[in-house]
Structure 1
Amino acid sequence: MWVYGDRSRTVKPRQALRALTATLREVESGTASGSDRHDRLTTAFLLASELAQGIADAEFRTKGLDEPSPTQEAAMALLVALARKLAASAWSAYTSVGPPSSAELMGLALSALPDEVEVKTPKGFALDAVYPEAYLKAAGERPWDSPPLVIGIRSAGAGLAALVAAVTNASKVVTLRPMGHPFHREVRVSDEVRRSLGAHLGPFAVVDEGPRRSGSSFAAVADLLEALGVAPERIVLLPSHAGDVGPEALPEHRTRWASATRRPASFDALIAEEPLAGWFEDLTGSVKFIEELSGGAWAVEDKEIPVHPGLERRKFRLTTEQGTYLAKFAGLGVSGEAKFARARTLARAGATPEPLGLRRGFLLEKWIEGERGPRADRAALVEHVGRYLGLRALAFPAVAGDGANLEDLAVMARMNVAELKGDAAADALPRPPARTKPRPIHVDGRLHRWEWLTLPDGRLIKTDALDHSAGHDLVGCQDVAWDVAGARVELDLDDDETAELCAIVARVCDRPIDEALLDFLDIAYPAFQAGLWTAARDAATPEQRPAIETQIARYVARLS
């Protein structure tokens, strides 16, 4: 099944450096303070991390291997300087931002920068609540016999390595890009890198988010070090969680992971020391009780709602004397800021809950009580959904690279249908329309019945509406026709209702729905969803599987 995707975007390093400089000036000018200033500093750090990753990857593509360069070293020097500022802010309760970084900014500005680089927003920072402060804590609290040589695994590892280096007085920082099959990655490095690693006599800190399904990126770096004669006890792994490697790990890598020295930099360890309640009390009042709703816990009382724990964001219900609130991870830096902006737009239109604030990557909103699923009559439902989708088409434009193109969707549909129904069914699928020019937007992508709340006064509210266009899946941003196809499936619209929905969307956003595109997406949408929920079933508990099986069957029926 093809479900997941890995997108990048092209940036011009000098433009990115100017934006980074402007953000740092804002931080150091005193216009913001406290946690708001810390959030802006985090944004600057993540921008610098992406830039360092993009520069290193550009040189990797040119040379076919990882090799140090003055430009990479200048980018890392800036990143380590910003990591020290982030540590100063975090450890001073946000009263300090540490020493200036003007010298490091100038050093990178005077370097030989490429015209363009490809950068990636790491999944951990945008979706999985991977926190820089957790790495500062994990590395800073470990006793090191001598300064480590830090190896960051790109993409996320570029910034994470700088954090570890900042608090360990690291002797050197290297970033590497594992390549190859996702479950069997390997690293390609120059002789200079090999000599540098082999000459280091102290400990090594290997840093990344994850591990996920295989842990092959961590394994690739550990394989390299062991091939260079580094004893296992000199290698310290700093992952983002304390769990095991995933089900696709090779047996020898699983064995090594179990015995390795690990220093997890987990969100749970971070909030154990700095409770989440304190992040929002200026907005909520004193928090009396916190209930975690992550991993599908919000649906535990309704066994008919299928959940995909791997796609669930960290979320918490906060109970205070002033009321009840929902805090959900929206993303650090620019990622979270964009989702917060979308939340405000949708709330002003009465479509979603009102966001009260974005604090350290978590979006806070009032808890809304309602009955799950739309309860309005069919005509009112179609009218409401049409206006909602039309608003999204009007307000949230995107660019083509932010999502899969039609050819990729066609390949995905063929692969998934072949696995579900056989090659003959896959061969009969329609090709994507040749003359269609989709207009990508930040689609909702999650129009399932249980994602709607009917309030006591009859109003319909959409939940989970902010980030499925920016997830880790293949689809990403698409034409609004993707959501029309989704509404047709998830809300069981008949042909007349779908035609009316198209007319309402077109009236609101002032552009018609392309009928040929919709015909194609009527197949691509259930093919994708069937693959997505098949992946969920494979990782589900026995109690979760019946609801997931029912959901898969609905999509397969649509492919007949």
Structure 2
Amino acid sequence: MIVYSDRSRTEDPRALVASLRQAIAAPHVEPSAHLVAAGVLEAGLVDMLSPEKDEEHPLARTCRSVVMDLAHAVRSDADSDRLASAAATLTAIEAGPLPTLVKVSEPEGFSFYALYPEMYAEAARRFLKAASPRYATVIGLRSIGTTLSAVVAAELEAAGVAVRTFTVRPRGHPFDRELRLGPRLKAALEAGASGHVLIVDEGPGISGSSFACVAEAALRAGCPEHRIALFPSWDSDGAGLRSERARDLWPRLARWTAGFEDVLLDSGRLVRPWGGGTLRDLSGGLWRALLASPDDEPAVQPQHERRKYLLTRDGNAPLFLKFAGLVERGRRALDRAEWQAEAGLAPAVRGLADGFLAYDAVQGTPLRPEDLDGALLAAMGGYLAFLRSGQARADVPRFEDILHMTRTNLAEGLGLEAAGRTGWMDRQRAAVLARPALACDGRMLPQEWLRTATGILKTDGIDHHDDHFWPGMQDIAWDLAGAAVEFGMGDAALDRLLEDYTERSGDRDVVTVLPFYTVAYLAYRLGYASLAAETLGGSMDGLRMAKDRDRYAARLRQELEREGRA
């Protein structure tokens, strides 16, 4: 099943270097933004320099020095000497030979999962207190491990520890990664075997094999188990990891973590910008306790939900806090949230701090499919017309990608015969490509709509066009199809929605591509619900996802039959 959308992009590395150098020189930009950008740059360049196996190219060492300078600048409250050093090194990089293009990707933990570099700094301090190392080799797993390993290494260096640090890219099947090292990095690992070896990354993921293959390389290099330390984003005893090698190694190795609670909650840091108060955790589906009908709760995949909290404050109105992403991603989310709120289409936004957007906690009732009425259809039509008309930038639809996702999910979810009934979609190529793909909503589920005393508002419409799932930038027809599917609209309700939308937008051609996007949307949701049901198993959400999977499958069969008769 295909549910994740490729968020990587191809960039000119010289332009990235110049942009980072200029940003460092600009006033009022937090060093953490530079650190994240430098980690992205280093990961992209080193991947390009080491396509088959990891080796230490001179440019890789130079990039590592930039990220280390910026990691020190972050921990030392914008150390001007370190910032100047990073800028000077970037100037030298810009003047030298560089690849024409590099492939870079946004670090997901910083963007979606409320992962903070400070967590790794705190984990490093705990390690220092317990282990008192004299020498350490710090290995980051690209891509986000590039930044995180620099944070750990900077804490060690600041404590007087001699540090050797580099990054690697485990390769091969996701459940059976292997580490391929060139002679220089092999020698570096062997030289560091007499000290501690620290392995740093987000995760572990489903398998844990990336961490495991690096730990195995350290063992082969002669480092004893008791001097190998893992720095993941969350701790685990390893029993649930799918890689047998990881299950074997994980409980035998020291693990150092500091959680979100340690850094943001226990310290009061999350509530401080809003004057303090009491938090209620609404993450991982806990928000459903606020629904009027808890017996009919919508399905969620808790692992994919952003952190969110209800903040109650003495003498002040309550706020809803939701993680929107660190640095530049958070600022983009704030701009879009304010744009929607100023139009009266979404809750008012009070600001952004530490990657969390603060909204007014509006009193209202989240909707259900049976709540569909004329007022809601009019609100939907107006909202989608606003999204389409208010954006200057648009992309070309990814026709081949959409078709590939649709047919793959149909084949795996309904069988090859169903996938073979999509020949009509090829004939819509010209119509699809003639329309813009833009920053749509991407999540038209009933519970995302709130009926309040003053009207209907859309929540959670900020960045589903730009997360690591489908749809990505997409035709607004994707959202029209999503609304029709999720509310179980018949022909009369869909006609009313299209009438409201086209009257406000002038987009009368959307009807020509709506069948294409309806099947594509259903195929994506079939894939998502199928994988979530498998992952969540016999839990209540697993059962709910299985029910959704069957609902999407039934609707897909209907749509394919309808188009087959057309």
**Contact 2:301–2:541 at 8 Å: present in 1 too?**
no
Does structure 1 residue 261 correspond to structure 2 residue 254?
yes
**Contact 1:238–1:265 at 8 Å: present in 2 too?**
no
Counterparts of 2:388 and 2:301, CA distance in 1: 27
**CA apart distance, 1:190:** 1.0
1:311 to 285, 297, 304: 304
* TM-score normalised by length of structure 2: 0.89
**Contact 1:14–1:109 at 8 Å: present in 2 too?**
no
**Contact 1:398–1:440 at 8 Å: present in 2 too?**
no
1:341 to 335, 338, 350: 335
**Contact 2:372–2:487 at 8 Å: present in 1 too?**
no
Identify the residue that residue 124 of structure 1 maps to in structure 2.
109
Comparing 528-537 with 108-117, greater Cα deviation is found at 108-117
**Contact 2:153–2:165 at 8 Å: present in 1 too?**
yes
Q: Which amino acid aligns with 1:227?
A: R
What SS class does the counterpart of residue 3 from structure 1 fall into?
coil
1:107-131 Cα deviation digits (max 9, x unpaired): 2321233232211101101000110
Counterparts of 1:246 and 1:343, CA distance in 2: 41
Q: Which amino acid aligns with 1:186?
A: E
Identify the residue that residue 93 of structure 1 maps to in structure 2.
none
**CA apart distance, 1:443:** 1.8
What SS class does the counterpart of residue 357 from structure 1 fall into?
strand
1:57 to 44, 47, 50: 47
Comparing 106-115 with 351-360, greater Cα deviation is found at 106-115
**CA apart distance, 1:396:** 4.3
Identify the residue that residue 99 of structure 1 maps to in structure 2.
81
What SS class does the counterpart of residue 469 from structure 1 fall into?
coil
Length, aligned pairs only: 535
Name the CA shift for 1:508/1:52 in 2 (closer, same or farther; >3 Å).
farther
Counterparts of 2:135 and 2:381, CA distance in 1: 59
Name the CA shift for 1:377/1:524 in 2 (closer, same or farther; >3 Å).
closer
Identify the residue that residue 554 of structure 1 maps to in structure 2.
551
Name the CA shift for 1:495/1:272 in 2 (closer, same or farther; >3 Å).
closer
**CA apart distance, 1:47:** 1.0
Counterparts of 1:447 and 1:544, CA distance in 2: 19
Identify the residue that residue 280 of structure 2 maps to in structure 1.
291
Q: Which amino acid aligns with 1:15?
A: A
Identify the residue that residue 267 of structure 2 maps to in structure 1.
274
Name the CA shift for 1:97/1:195 in 2 (closer, same or farther; >3 Å).
closer
What SS class does the counterpart of residue 539 from structure 1 fall into?
helix
**Contact 1:215–1:249 at 8 Å: present in 2 too?**
yes
1:40-439 matched pairs, under 5 angstroms: 40-61=30-51, 64-89=52-77, 97=79, 99-111=81-93, 112-143=97-128, 144-169=132-157, 170-200=162-192, 201-245=194-238, 247=240, 249-281=242-274, 285-287=275-277, 289-300=278-289, 302-304=294-296, 305-321=298-314, 322-373=316-367, 378-396=373-391, 400=395, 405-430=398-423, 431-432=425-426, 433-435=428-430, 436-437=432-433, 438-439=435-436
Identify the residue that residue 92 of structure 1 maps to in structure 2.
none
What SS class does the counterpart of residue 223 from structure 2 fall into?
coil
- In structure 1, stretches of 5+ residues that fail to align are 90-95
Name the CA shift for 1:490/1:187 in 2 (closer, same or farther; >3 Å).
same
Q: Which amino acid aligns with 2:354?
A: R
Q: Which amino acid aligns with 1:466?
A: I
Name the CA shift for 1:331/1:510 in 2 (closer, same or farther; >3 Å).
same
Name the CA shift for 1:174/1:286 in 2 (closer, same or farther; >3 Å).
closer
**CA apart distance, 1:58:** 1.4
**Contact 1:125–1:131 at 8 Å: present in 2 too?**
yes
**Contact 1:124–1:130 at 8 Å: present in 2 too?**
yes
**CA apart distance, 1:368:** 1.1
Q: Which amino acid aligns with 1:11?
A: E
Counterparts of 1:5 and 1:258, CA distance in 2: 33
**Contact 1:74–1:104 at 8 Å: present in 2 too?**
no
Name the CA shift for 1:80/1:356 in 2 (closer, same or farther; >3 Å).
same
1:13-46 Cα deviation digits (max 9, x unpaired): 23223322333233xx4xx4xxxx6xx3222211
**Contact 1:212–1:245 at 8 Å: present in 2 too?**
no
Counterparts of 1:18 and 1:308, CA distance in 2: 40
Q: Which amino acid aligns with 2:166?
A: V
1:156-176 Cα deviation digits (max 9, x unpaired): 011111111111125221111
What SS class does the counterpart of residue 336 from structure 2 fall into?
helix
Q: Which amino acid aligns with 1:483?
A: D
**Contact 1:280–1:359 at 8 Å: present in 2 too?**
yes
Counterparts of 2:539 and 2:362, CA distance in 1: 30
Q: Which amino acid aligns with 1:55?
A: L
**Contact 2:322–2:356 at 8 Å: present in 1 too?**
yes
Name the CA shift for 1:273/1:521 in 2 (closer, same or farther; >3 Å).
same
The RMSD of aligned alpha carbons is 2.3
Identify the residue that residue 458 of structure 2 maps to in structure 1.
462
**Contact 2:209–2:245 at 8 Å: present in 1 too?**
no
Counterparts of 1:184 and 1:495, CA distance in 2: 49
**CA apart distance, 1:539:** 3.2
**Contact 1:184–1:216 at 8 Å: present in 2 too?**
yes
